[in-house]
Structure 1
C-alpha cells in the first residue's frame, strides 16, 4: 500500500511536465546557445571554439593545425553537439566577408562571398587564431573571469571571455532562440572605442551623444548604408529597427560595373535575379550580363545596357528595388546582460553594461597581479634569508627532524616562506645574488604600490581602462568600410507583357525540379543539382512558347517558358506550380507551336499522333491526354520534326523490334490510341513484356541502340528486316542487343 502511495506522489500531470520541460529547454537555448553575452559578444559555441584553440596553442604566431583537431576538442571537452554545427560556427568566424574582425585565421577553402557554404570539410582545412583574438584571450589566465565546470564536470571553462573591447558590437551576431531572436550588426572598432571612452568619461551621456561617435553599423563590405541618420539613431535608442544597404556602382565605357555588394549578398544570386527578369522580358534595356570577379576584384559585375540611350539611373533604380543589389537587414540588439538576463538594449545601455563588466575585469586582474606580487615578495624575502644564512639554514635542515617550525621560529617566517626554503634546490643557492634579489624586490615593491594606488582610486582605474581601449583601437582599428550616404528611394519598372523569342532549354530533374537555361547549346547533365537529384529530361524551344509536360498518369500540363526559374540556380519544384495526382512523376517535356505533331505512347504497345495544341491547358491539375491500359506506363513523348518517310520504331524488352510507316498510326486529340506493337495484355500487367522505346525516324537519320556498354548503329536501309504491319510482334534484334537499355535517334 505504501508503494502505491509513493507512486501516486511522484506522478505529475502531463500539462505540468510539458510546461516545465519546455521552459527548461527554452531557458537553455536562450542562455546557453543562441544569444551573445554583452561582456565578450560571443555565443557559448564561439567562446568554446576560441578557448579550445587557445588551449591547443593555436595563437596567431603558431603554425596552422587541422580544423578537425579543434572541432574534436570543442565537442569532446566543452560543447557536446554535432561536429558540423561547431565547424560551421568556426567557419563563420574565419570568413572576412562574414565577420568584421575575424577571430579565426583559416588556410584552405573557407567558402566565398558568392557561396559562404561552399567551404571544404574540416579534415581538409587548417586554422589558428587571428591577432585580433588576443583582445579576448590575453587576460584569461589572470583571475579576470569566473570558471565553470564543463558538461561532464571533468574540467573547467571560462564563463565569459575578458574582452578588452565591446566585441558584441564589433562583430555582431545573429541567433534564433525560443520566443526571441537577435540580429546585431557589426560596427567599426575605432568608432565604438571612441564612444566607449566618451561614455567612460561622461557616465550620463545619452544615446544621441554616442551616435556622434558611432555613425552606424560598419559591415565587412564597401556597399553603402542608405538608412537615414534619424532612423539609425532611433534604432540605437530602442535596440530595434532595420538597416538598408545598396551596392556601389559606376559607369565604365558605357557599361554599369558593380564593385561592392550588400553584406552576405551573392553576386551569382544577383546576376541570376537580373537574368530572370531578362528572360521574363522585364528588362528590355539590358543587353548582357558578365561576372568579371576574380582574385584582385572579388566583386565585379558588369551590366551592359542595350544602347547608349538607356536611362542608366532609372535602370539601376529598378534593379535596386527588384534585386538584392539593395537589401534590408533586421536589427534586434538582444543579448544576455551583466545580470544574466536576456534583453533588447540601446547603444547607451550596451556600452554602460560593458564598461561595468570591463571595470570589474580590470579590477580582478589587478588584484590577481597584486596577490602574485605579494607572494613573490614573500619568497624573495625567504631567498634573502637563505642567501645571508646559508650555513645555518642547511644545518637546521640536516639536523632537525621537522625543520619547518624551527626555520619559522629562528628567522620569523610564515609557513609559505618556510615551505619555499625547504623546496629550494641546492643548485639554486649558487646563483643567489644579493643585488639581484634586492633589485627584483625594489621593482616588485614599486609595482605593488602602483597596483594599490590604482585599486584604491576610481579615477586611476578609469584612466587605465581608457589607455587600454586606446591601445586596442590603435593596434586593431581600421577605417570605416561601409559609407553612410543619403540616397533616393529605389523604384521598380512596371511589368511589361512584351515577350521576345530567345532560345531556351527547359530542364527537369528526377525529383521534379524545373528550370530554364538560356540558349540551346547547354549540357543539361552538367548543371548543378541538389543532393540526391539528377537530370531526367529536357527540351528546346523559345521564351514565348509553353513547356508542355506529360506525367506518369498520362495527363498533360503547360508552363510559360519565360516564367521558369533560371538554370543558374537549381530551379524550383514543379509541384509548386501544378497540382498533379498524388504519386505522379513527370515523364517528358516538349516545346513547339500549337501545330507541332507529337507521338504519344504507352509501354503496353498503344499510341497515337497528337499536337501540342491538343496537349495545352491552363488548368493546374492538367488534362487527360493518354489513357493507359491496365499495367501500362507512359513512355516519353516524341516530337515529330519536319521531313518525309517517317518511320515508327518500337522495341520491346524481349529484344523484338518492329518498324512501320508513321501514316499507319491515327491522329487523335486524346485517348488510348491504336496498337503499335502486339504484346499480350496479361504479360503487360505482370510486367513480363512491355515496350521499352518508341522513336520516330526520318530520311537521313540513324538509329543507335544501346545495350550495356555496347551500341548498334542502324541506317534506314538496315531496318528492312524489321519492317512489318502495325500491331505485329516484330523480329528479334541481333544476339547481344536483345536487352535494350536505351534508343537514340542521330541526325
Structure 2
C-alpha cells in the first residue's frame, strides 16, 4: 500500500520566527558565550581538550599549531581553521588574559596589534596551570561526555576547571541580540573570594569587593571610579573608567617629558596606533604647542611611549589633556553575561562565584565517588590476595589437580571440588570451604610467583592499610560537606601559592581630569582662498604689503577674527562651517590647505556660491536666489550653529542655489533669465523666512527657462550689462511686482 504524501501548511512568519530563534540560541549557547562553570567558549574548550588528548603537556615538547588546529577541526569543531587558530592565539596572549592557558612558541602577535604568524610556523603546548587546574580529573568521571558533531568521538560538555576561570581570564563575545564583556581579575584575589564565599555563603558584594578589589587587567593601568564598582558587580552591568599610567620625567635644561608605562586595557591592539595619531592630531590642529616629539619605545619588556615637552610646559595640564582628548582614559563596558544551566544570564560577582562553588562541589562529589569505587575494588582484590597468601599451598594443590582454569576458578569461588585431585582428604575439605569473590579469584589466578616473597607480602599488607585509609577519607569527604569544603579549600590554597601574581591594576577614586585650554589671543586676520580651493590666513599687515598680488591671485579675500568661523555656502543648499583656527596661519607665499580636508565640503560634488565669516553675517539679512527663481530673505543669526554642516535652504527637486548676497530695505533686485528676460523688484517684496523654508517665486519663467544671473542695486547704484552687443542700464529698468514675467531685452 502506497503512503500518501501530506502537505503541512505553516504560517511563513511563524516558521521564520522559529528558525531564527533556533539559530540565535545556537549562536548564544554553542558558540559566542562562555559557560559560567569553566568560563570557556566551545571553541576554547575543544582546543584545550584536543591538546590534552594529543598529549601536548606543559612538560613535553611544543607541537605545530597546524596539527592542533587540524585535529580539533576534524574531531570536535567543524567551523573552519581560522576560528580555532584565533582562539588558540588569544589563549596564549599574556597581554589579553589574566592567566594564559596555552604556552605559545613563535610569533603570537603583539600588544600593538601585530597579528600572529601563520599556524604552520607557530608551536604550542599547555601551560602547567591548565594541566593541573583545568584538565587533571577528566579520567575520574567528573564531567559528562557528549558525542561530537558526527557521533564518532566523545567530548566533555564542560571542562573540570577547579578555579573561577570566567573571572580570572574574563570573556568577550558577541552573540545574537546580546554580548558579553567580563574583565579579567587577579588570580590570588579570586581564589580568596571563593574561599570567603565557601566559609560564608551569605557574603555581600560590598564584603566581596574588600577581597576582590576589582578588575586586574594584564596591561595594568588605573581604575578611577572605585565607588561605582559595588553597583557594577552587584548587577553585572556598568562602565569601568581606566587610565594609562603616566610618569613625568625631568630632562636636561629644565625640560620635562611624559612617559606612558601602562595603557588602558581597551587600547590593546591597533588602538595604540590610534592614540599616537590622536596626539599627532592635537599638535597639527594646534590644540597644544607644548609637544616637541612623540616616540613609541615599547618593547618585549613593556610599554614605553615618550612625549617630549618644550621648556616651561605644564606637564600635568598636558597629561589631563591626553586623558580628555585621547584614549589614554577609556571605558571598559562590563556585561557579565554567561551561559548558566543552558541559558544566557547576566550575573553579579557573588552569583558567578556561587555557580563556581556549586560546580566545585559537583566535581568533588563525582571525583570521590569514582575514587571510592576504585578503592573498594582494590580493597576486595587486596583482601583476596592476602587471604590467598595464607593458603597458598592449598591453592597450588587445587591448580595442579584441576583439569582447566574454569574448574580451578569455580573451586576458589564456590568451593566445588568435583573433578579435582587432592593429595589428602583434609586438603579437599579445606578447598570446599573457600569462598573468594569473582574478582579475587581472577586476581589470584593472575598472580605471579614473585609475589610470594616475604617483602612483597609485607608491601601488599602496607598497600592494603593505605587503601583502607583512603576509603575512610573518601567516605568522610562524601559524607560531610564541611570535609569536602576543606579538601577544595586546601587545593585552592595550593593553586594560589604556586600561581598567584601581584596585582597590576590600581583601583582608586580619581578626580575628573580637568584640562585648561590656553585662551587664544583674539586678533584680526585675512582669509585667502585661491581658485583651487587652497586656503590660509595671514596677518593684516602682511596682506596690506601684498594687497595687489593677494587680490589678483585669490578667488576669495575677506578679513575676519582668528576665533571666527568661515561659512561656505554651496549650490546644493548646504552650509559648511570651518574654524579659522584650523587654517594654517603664516607667510603670504605658503600654499595653504584644501578646504575639503578641513570641512565636509566636497569640491567634486558641490560648487561654492558664497563665502563669509560668521560674525559678518550676524547683523545682516541674506538674500537667497535659486535657478528656478525662488527667493527669500534669511536673518544671518540663523547660521550660528554648532554642526559642521547644515541645510542653509530647502530646494525643490532639480533646483540649485544660484547665489546669496547681503541686502538692505532700500535695495532692488534685478533678475536675468537665460532667455534674456529682465525683472526688477524691490527687496521688501521678498519675504523673510527661516533657513529651512523654500521661499517664494520671484519671476514667472517660461518653459525651459531659468535664472542666469541676479544683481542687487543700491539707491544710487548704476549698473550695466551687455546683451547681444547692446548695453542695458539695470537701474533704469521699471520696478515691477514680484512673480511677474518681466521684459525682454
Q: Sort the TM-score into its range (normalised by shorter chain).
A: 0.5 to 0.7
Asked if residue 51 in structure 1 is aligned to residue 49 in structure 2, the reply is yes
Other-structure match for 2:247? 250
Residue 306 of structure 1 deviates from its aligned partner by 2.6
Give the SS at the match of 1:222. Answer: coil
What are the superposed Cα offsets for residues 689-724 of structure 1, whole Å, 9 maximum, x if unpaired? Answer: xxxxxxxxxxxxxxxxxxxxxxxxxxxxxxxxxxxx
Other-structure match for 2:370? 368
Match of 2:602 among 595, 614, 620: 620
Give the SS at the match of 2:73. Answer: helix
Match of 2:468 among 415, 437, 445: 445
5 Å-filtered alignment, 1:537-548, equals none
Other-structure match for 1:152? 150
CA contact (8 A) 1:199 1:352 kept: yes
User: Which has the higher mean CA deviation after the structures are superposed, 136-145 or 410-419?
Assistant: 410-419
5 Å-filtered alignment, 1:505-520, equals none
**CA RMSD of superposed structures (Å):** 3.4
CA contact (8 A) 1:113 1:264 kept: no
5 Å-filtered alignment, 1:252-331, equals 252=249, 253=251, 254-265=256-267, 266-296=271-301, 298-308=302-312, 310-331=313-334
Residue 7 of structure 1 deviates from its aligned partner by 2.8
What are the superposed Cα offsets for residues 118-146 of structure 1, whole Å, 9 maximum, x if unpaired? Answer: 21011101111112212111222122111
Q: Note closer, same or farther for the CA distance 1:281–1:380 as it changes in structure 2 (3 Å cut).
A: same
The whole-number CA distance in structure 2 between the counterparts of 1:391 and 1:449 is 34
Residue 454 of structure 1 deviates from its aligned partner by 1.8
Other-structure match for 2:513? 490
Other-structure match for 2:421? none
Other-structure match for 2:62? 64
CA contact (8 A) 2:257 2:315 kept: no
What are the superposed Cα offsets for residues 70-114 of structure 1, whole Å, 9 maximum, x if unpaired? Answer: 111111111111101111111111011001100001111111110
Give the SS at the match of 1:335. Answer: strand
Residue 304 of structure 1 deviates from its aligned partner by 1.2
Asked if residue 88 in structure 1 is aligned to residue 94 in structure 2, the reply is no
Other-structure match for 1:479? 502
The whole-number CA distance in structure 2 between the counterparts of 1:497 and 1:543 is 18
The whole-number CA distance in structure 2 between the counterparts of 1:79 and 1:544 is 63
The whole-number CA distance in structure 2 between the counterparts of 1:615 and 1:350 is 51
CA contact (8 A) 1:98 1:264 kept: no
The whole-number CA distance in structure 2 between the counterparts of 1:187 and 1:295 is 23
Other-structure match for 2:194? 196
What are the superposed Cα offsets for residues 374-429 of structure 1, whole Å, 9 maximum, x if unpaired? Answer: 11112222333444424135336644554433321133122233333444566767
Q: Note closer, same or farther for the CA distance 1:394–1:273 as it changes in structure 2 (3 Å cut).
A: farther
What are the superposed Cα offsets for residues 254-298 of structure 1, whole Å, 9 maximum, x if unpaired? Answer: 1111111111424333212211222222222212111222333x2
Q: Structure 2 length normalisation: TM-score?
A: 0.65
Asked if residue 334 in structure 1 is aligned to residue 337 in structure 2, the reply is yes
What are the superposed Cα offsets for residues 201-232 of structure 1, whole Å, 9 maximum, x if unpaired? Answer: 111111121111111010102211112x2210
The whole-number CA distance in structure 1 between the counterparts of 2:48 and 2:380 is 36
Q: Note closer, same or farther for the CA distance 1:414–1:249 as it changes in structure 2 (3 Å cut).
A: same
User: Which has the higher mean CA deviation after the structures are superposed, 352-361 or 259-268?
Assistant: 259-268
Task: Point out where structure 2 has 5 or more consecutive residues left out of the alignment.
Answer: 416-433, 523-533, 539-554, 556-571, 573-583, 608-745
The whole-number CA distance in structure 2 between the counterparts of 1:267 and 1:622 is 34
Task: Point out where structure 1 has 5 or more consecutive residues left out of the alignment.
Answer: 500-540, 546-557, 559-578, 580-590, 598-611, 626-747
The whole-number CA distance in structure 1 between the counterparts of 2:349 and 2:192 is 13
5 Å-filtered alignment, 1:103-502, equals 103-115=101-113, 117-133=114-130, 134-227=132-225, 229-252=226-249, 253=251, 254-265=256-267, 266-296=271-301, 298-308=302-312, 310-337=313-340, 339-387=341-389, 388-389=391-392, 390-395=395-400, 398-399=403-404, 401-410=406-415, 411-424=434-447, 433-491=456-514
Residue 163 of structure 1 deviates from its aligned partner by 1.5
What are the superposed Cα offsets for residues 571-594 of structure 1, whole Å, 9 maximum, x if unpaired? Answer: xxxxxxxx9xxxxxxxxxxx9999
CA contact (8 A) 2:266 2:330 kept: no
The whole-number CA distance in structure 1 between the counterparts of 2:116 and 2:296 is 21
Give the number of the structure whose alpha-carbon radius of gyration is greater: 2
Q: Note closer, same or farther for the CA distance 1:401–1:138 as it changes in structure 2 (3 Å cut).
A: closer
The whole-number CA distance in structure 1 between the counterparts of 2:596 and 2:376 is 97
Other-structure match for 1:564? none
Q: Note closer, same or farther for the CA distance 1:461–1:401 as it changes in structure 2 (3 Å cut).
A: closer
Asked if residue 21 in structure 1 is aligned to residue 19 in structure 2, the reply is yes
Residue 486 of structure 1 deviates from its aligned partner by 2.3
The whole-number CA distance in structure 2 between the counterparts of 1:413 and 1:329 is 67
Other-structure match for 2:35? 37
What is the number of residues matched between the two proteins? 522
Other-structure match for 1:688? none
The whole-number CA distance in structure 1 between the counterparts of 2:152 and 2:452 is 40
Give the SS at the match of 1:236. Answer: helix
The whole-number CA distance in structure 1 between the counterparts of 2:93 and 2:596 is 55
Give the SS at the match of 2:260. Answer: strand
Residue 618 of structure 1 deviates from its aligned partner by 7.6
CA contact (8 A) 1:386 1:393 kept: no
